[in-house]
Structures are given as C-alpha cells and as structure tokens.
C-alpha cells in the first residue's frame, strides 16, 4: 500500500495513519514528493514509474495526494493499482486554492501544484475503484482565505469531494488536517480497501455516491 501526503506536508505527517493501517493488517509505505516546489507534470511521471515497477498495490492519498493518484491513473490507466482512497481531496477543484491563487500575496503558497488543485477533475472514468472519506468539522486554515457554502472540513467543502464516478463516499467528523489522525477515517479507508465500499455511505443519489 502506498500513502501520499498533501501540500505543505512531509512523509512524517502520515505516520499516525500508517500506524493505524499497519495495526489493521496492511503494509503501508509512505511516498514523499515535493508538493510545492515541483509540479504535477514532474511528480506524476515519477509516481507512475514507481507504481509500474511494483506489484499490485492500493493507494491512500490525503488532499493533494489523492489528486496525484488519480492524475497518475488518468495518464496511465494500466497501472497495477487495486483501489484508491482519497482523504479530503478536492477532486472537483478547490475554491480555497482559487481564492489563494487569485491574490498576489498568497499565490506563492500553492507553489507549482496550484493548477491541479484549482481545476480538479470533471468525473472519474477509470477502471480502478476510488472512494472518498470527507470531513465535516470546519476547522482549518482555509477559512482564512475563503468563505464556504455548505459543509466543509475547514479547507475543502463536501461538494468538492463528490466527484461523479466515485465508487463510494462517506463523511466522518474531522477537520481537513485531522483526517490523517482520525481513527474513523482510517477505519473507513480500511473497509473500502477490503470491500470496495465504506461502512456507512453518504446519501444515495448524491453526486459521487454509488447511485450518483
């Protein structure tokens, strides 16, 4: 299993999540990458090369990490990836990132990952099953840069996580950063990796849910 961190984070940030997954019987490996000073155009080919060289594996990606995983699978659909779990990834594009990127004094904090964070994806058409664990506790730095409509984790709105084509979607009581420390998020991630579904799905028919 490969773990991918989000923007502004390092490998150590995912250590608590890795510990929970390890206790659940998985063998996680944390893959670090330069989330600010390198662009997805440089990082995604490296990720594809890493995945191509190994055996079948699952991916768990927090925030930008989940978007990197989907971008890699979009560019190379035959990668030996079994399932992907995204934790709070703004797969439909981030309003916060667009607000930050639109100001001269804040735009540099997004570095070269700005484009992917801002635009996101239209839908998921890949063959790999993708699940989303979103948070609904609105505590995060995102509130300093943008006003949110509807539920959010303080950085990403719930609607930004509901990408059409997802295999399943669930919501846990967590902030954006807190998703990597959340026992509920780890439990749901493990359920999806084992079964292709979460223990409690979001409302049927919502975009990104199994019936959406």
Task: Name residue 83's beta-bridge partners.
Answer: 129
Domain ranges within the chain, ordered by starting residue? 2-195
What distance in Å separates the CA atoms of residue 174 and residue 111, rounded to the nearest whole number? Answer: 26
**Cα angle at 199 between 122 and 3, to 5 degrees?**
60
Its CATH architecture, for the domain 2-195, is 3-Layer(aba) Sandwich (3.40)
Q: Residue 60 and residue 63: Cα distance in Å, rounded?
A: 10
Q: Is 32 helix (H, G, I), strand (E, B) or coil?
A: coil
pLDDT interval class at 179 (50, 70, 90): very high
Weakest-pLDDT range from 9-23, 61-75, 130-144: 130-144
Comparing CA positions, the residue from 110, 60, 53, 101 lying closest to residue 70 is 60
Cα dihedral sign, 165-170-174-179: negative
153 is written with which tokens?
């984790």
Q: What is the pLDDT of residue 9?
A: 79
DSSP 3-state assignment of 53?
coil
Name the more confident of 51 and 110: 51
Structure token digits, residue 19: 């510990």
CA distance 96 to 155: 7
Q: So what's the pLDDT on residue 112?
A: 57
HSE (side-chain half, CA atoms, 13 Å) at 145: 22
- Block residue for tokens 């990720």: 47
DSSP state of 114: H
pLDDT at site 33 = 87
- Residue pair 1/57 in contact (Cβ under 8 Å)? The answer is yes
Digit-coded pLDDT (tens) for 181-210: 999 999 999 999 999 999 964 443 334 444
DSSP conformational letter for 160: H
| pLDDT at position 143 | 53
Global confidence as pTM? 0.87
- pLDDT tier, 11 (very low <50, low <70, confident <90, very high otherwise): confident
């Amino acid at each position: 299993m490969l773990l991918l961190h989000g923007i502004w984070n390092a490998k150590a940030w995912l250590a608590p999540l890795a510990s929970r997954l390890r206790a659940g019987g998985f063998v996680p490996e944390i893959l670090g990458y330069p989330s600010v000073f390198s662009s997805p155009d440089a990082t995604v080919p490296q990720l594809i090369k890493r995945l191509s060289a190994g055996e079948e594996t699952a991916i768990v990606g927090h925030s930008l990490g989940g978007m990197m995983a989907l971008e890699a699978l979009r560019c190379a659909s035959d990668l030996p990836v079994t399932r992907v779990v995204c934790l709070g990834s703004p797969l439909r594009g981030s309003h916060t990132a667009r607000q930050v990127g639109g100001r001269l004094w804040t735009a540099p904090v997004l570095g070269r990952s700005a484009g992917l964070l801002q635009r996101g994806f239209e839908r998921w058409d890949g063959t790999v099953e993708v699940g989303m664990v979103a948070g609904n506790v609105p505590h995060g730095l995102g509130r300093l840069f943008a006003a949110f409509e509807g539920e959010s984790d303080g950085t990403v709105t719930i609607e930004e996580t509901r990408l059409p084509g997802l295999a399943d979607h669930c919501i846990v009581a967590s902030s954006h950063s807190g998703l990597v420390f959340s026992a509920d998020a780890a439990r749901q991630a493990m359920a999806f990796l084992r079964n292709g579904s979460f223990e409690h799905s979001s409302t049927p028919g919502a975009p990104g849910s199994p019936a959406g």
